[in-house]
Homo-oligomer: A and B are copies of this chain.
Amino acid sequence: MDLQLIRRLSIPADSKVVLCVLDGLGGLANYKGRTELDEASTRHLDRLAENGALGQTQPAGVGVTVGSGPGHTALFGLDPFEFEIGRGALEATGIDFELGPNDLAARGNLCTVDGDGNITDRRAGRVATEITEEIATLLSSIELPDAEVFVEAVREHRFVLVIRGEGLSPEVSETDPQEEGLPPLLVTAKEPAADRTADLVNSFVEQARALIAARDQANHLLLRGWSVRPSLPQLPELWKLRAAACTVYPMYRGLAQLVGMDAIDGGDSLETQFDALKRHWDDYDFFFVHFKATDAAGEDGDFARKVQAISDFDRQLPQLMELEPDVLVVTGDRSTPAMMAAHSWHPVPMLISGTNVRTDSARSFTELECVTGGLGTIPATELLPLAFAHAGRLAKYGA
């Protein structure tokens, strides 16, 4: 649904809507011809499927595999191609670094170079996170004219660089030559307005190199994905509601905050997440609950662990149902089939349960039932409008 149309038709209501995202939910059949959803114990989800309606979402169109950024942007109802979140901004979001309006972020890698300055390992042997933390502290001491520097370790060789200052531009080139045997590149401005930014970055890299050049490993660095805080439409304004994100992982909390949701403390498990929903039930109209274990297991190619993760979610579901949401949506941001040990382009199973749902013939929550479900196969961007329609939050169009 077009954002102008949402603004025009959205109306307040007393209903509660919960969106549960089982990251990487969609799967593929194993050698027995059964998917992770087929094999999982999904007694409660199956009952919801029986009384509700099923369908599938396409995060970004046929054949497109999405990262976490566009996967969630789409679920939040925003065109993932129009509203792109830069890699640096996403990485900052993932470590809970809240980007301000004057911040320029890059994703950094520690790397190793030889005596001639040519890269021998773009990931510095996936150096331990603790080492990266030490180096990050060291690099944070670098001083730039009229700008502040923040360096924060992410995991292994990865870190985030944020430069804070007036008039910084993401229109600068990356230092990563994308192959070994070459030296890191100097940064150049892609437009005149970025000249100062390029100078600052080159100065940062030169000082950083001096600080770590003596190391055997992780003696240089690569910077890419220059980006500023993305300016995304805000769900509370679009939909005239109060929205809360309840996640365990900071990246998903950060993504939700970028579209204007408040973060409520999800603790470290589904149980603490659903507890948080209960505590804040009266404070919000819409709750986004993110569950990571399905995706992590899928990416690791661990079929049994993904089955277990789905079963765990199902076992915990009654705790959510006790809150009696008017509309409950269960879906994923994408498919992450354990058989592929990777994210994929396959459509994502979707379930809507609650008020005014037109029931279909489905008796269980599986990929196969979702194919013929009553909700059809829709762009993920249409999921929130559909959920909010069921919740009485969309006025009629035209007389």
- Spell out A's residues near B (CB within 8 Å): 1-2, 5, 9, 28-29, 33, 56, 60-71, 80-81, 84-85, 87, 90-91, 225, 337, 339-340, 343-347, 356, 358-361, 367-368, 371-374, 376-378, 382, 385-386, 388-389, 394-399
Contacts and interface: CB of A to CB of B under 8 A. Distances in A.
Contacts of A360: 368, 371
Contacts of A337: 356
Contacts of A60: 397
B345 A69 contact: no
Given A69-B399, A340-B356, 7 more contacts: A29-B359, A63-B389, A65-B397, A344-B389, A347-B376, A360-B371, A372-B372
Nearest to A371: B374
11 contacts: A28-B356, A28-B358, A65-B394, A67-B397, A69-B399, A80-B397, A91-B399, A345-B386, A345-B389, A360-B368, A367-B374
A398 B345 contact: no
B70 A398 contact: yes
Contacts of A56: 376
Nearest to A64: B397
Given A360-B368, A371-B374, A385 B343 contact: no
Nearest to A394: B63
Given A87-B399, A90-B399, A394-B345, A386 B62 contact: yes
A84 B399 CA distance: 10
A300 to B, nearest CB: 17
A378 B62 contact: yes
Nearest to A356: B340
A288 to B, nearest CB: 18
A327 to B, nearest CB: 12
B1 A80 contact: no
Contacts of A65: 389, 394-397
A247 B65 CA distance: 33
Nearest to A346: B358
A385 B225 CA distance: 26
Contacts of A373: 371
B382 A5 contact: no
Contacts of A28: 356, 358
Closest 7 CB pairs of A and B: A63-B389, A63-B385, A67-B398, A70-B398, A62-B382, A69-B398, A345-B389
